[in-house]
Amino acid sequence: MNKRLNKQPSTARLRLGGDTIEVIAMTALLIGSIGLFSLLAPGFLTATNFGSMSMQLPELGLLSLAMLLPIISGGLNLSVTFTANITGLMTAWLVQGLLAGMGILSVPMAIIAGLAVGAAAGFLIGVIVAYVGAHPILVSLGAMIFLQGVGEFLTRGGGISGMPEVFQTIGSGSFLGIPIPMLIFLAAAAGLMYIMHFTRTGFSIYMLGSNPRATEYSGVNVKRVLITVYTISGILAGLAGMVMLARFNSVRVGHGESYLLITVLACFLAGANPFGGFGRVLPLVLGLMSLQVIASGMNLMGASQHLATAVWGAFLIIVMALRMPFIKQS
């Protein structure tokens, strides 16, 4: 028995046999789309284009990570975009108002406070989902509309702009040739990957996503895990809010709203199970990169941005159709 186990690759293949297939499929997709647009789109294979792609990806990327965890746990967090807005607002206010006199220290403090607001929003959703037992779609939909309303009320529908220079450095600077937003996204993805594969929180999220009652019968504190899921989701949405604030040097409620359903699409594209229990970070990152390549490539070819969105939709349907035989097999 031990001999047989030792023969297995020691990489984190723990979750699901199909995982490796997902990663290979998403890698193939990424290489394929890069190859296609290198041929079709002039100027695709340039440093400028790759730079701008890795500038644009992190917002959608972080929001998708914020969506992935609730999906694996068998739920959904529809409030990710507005949570991002609210955290951005919080940070902007603090920097310009309360903490304005504190100099350079005000920026990290405002960022931490902003992320705390994101965490609090997620925490509340988690508590309601865990203790009231209402479906996460309803709870997070309520939270989404609540946050939207509060944000619009406080800003009167306008925006806040004019951040200190540090923010612009975060938004447009780069380190070792990689844009800082991209670094934030990759770090968040790596952190999430670790949580999902090497902690009992991640382990429990997969289990409860498949069957919360059986997981509870096994002695797992399902309520606490659910709260953790939505809190992490809130923090990741908060990070997306920070990146948006830094990149646009302004924040407005409703910004990034159109990303919401695309984050869900990205998760399903990467093989997350709509009924919970399955889904991985790495295929999601690769899938997001493919989506960005398609959007940028089509943009360079002069196609409208709306057409790119349509292609994304078609793409999802094709990938789902291709995946079906594998799902039926297992």
277 binds other proteins (CB under 8 A): yes
329 binds other proteins (CB under 8 A): no
17 binds other proteins (CB under 8 A): yes
Nearer to other proteins, 11 or 48 (CB): 11
Q: CA neighbours within 13 Å on the CB side: how many for 46?
A: 10
Angstrom CA distances, 156 to 79, 137, 152, 230, 320, stand at: 20, 27, 5, 28, 42
130 binds other proteins (CB under 8 A): no
Site string for other proteins, 164-203 (x = CB under 8 A): ---------------------------------xxxx-xx
216 binds other proteins (CB under 8 A): yes
Nearer to other proteins, 152 or 216 (CB): 216
Helix (H) or strand (E) holding 87: helix 80-96
The answer for residues whose C-beta is within 8 angstroms of residue 286's C-beta and 6 or more apart is 23, 26, 27, 29, 30, 270
Nearer to other proteins, 64 or 204 (CB): 204
91 binds other proteins (CB under 8 A): no
Instruction: Out of 43, 219, 302, 325, name the contact with other proteins by CB under 8 A.
Output: 219
Nearer to other proteins, 211 or 249 (CB): 211
21 binds other proteins (CB under 8 A): no
Least distance CB 325 / other proteins (angstroms): 17
Of 302, 276, 272, 273, the residue nearest 288 (C-alpha): 272
Q: Rounded to 5, what percent of the chain is helix, strand, coil?
A: 75, 5, 20
Nearer to other proteins, 24 or 318 (CB): 24
Nearer to other proteins, 72 or 125 (CB): 72
Structure tokens at 140: 């997070």
Structure tokens at 65: 């990570």
Phi and psi at 251, nearest 5°, equal -140, 140
Least distance CB 108 / other proteins (angstroms): 24
Instruction: Out of 204, 290, 292, 299, name the contact with other proteins by CB under 8 A.
Output: 204
Asked if 271 and 22 count as a contact pair (C-beta separation under 8 A), the reply is yes
The answer for residues whose C-beta is within 8 angstroms of residue 12's C-beta and 6 or more apart is 197, 198
Amino acid at 2: N
20 binds other proteins (CB under 8 A): no
Nearer to other proteins, 12 or 301 (CB): 12
Stretch that binds other proteins, among 12-20, 55-63, 64-72, 236-244 (CB under 8 A): 12-20
Q: How many H helices and E strands in the chain? A: 14, 4
Residues that bind other proteins (CB under 8 A): 1-2, 5, 8, 10, 12-17, 197-200, 202-204, 206-207, 210-211, 213-221, 277-278, 330
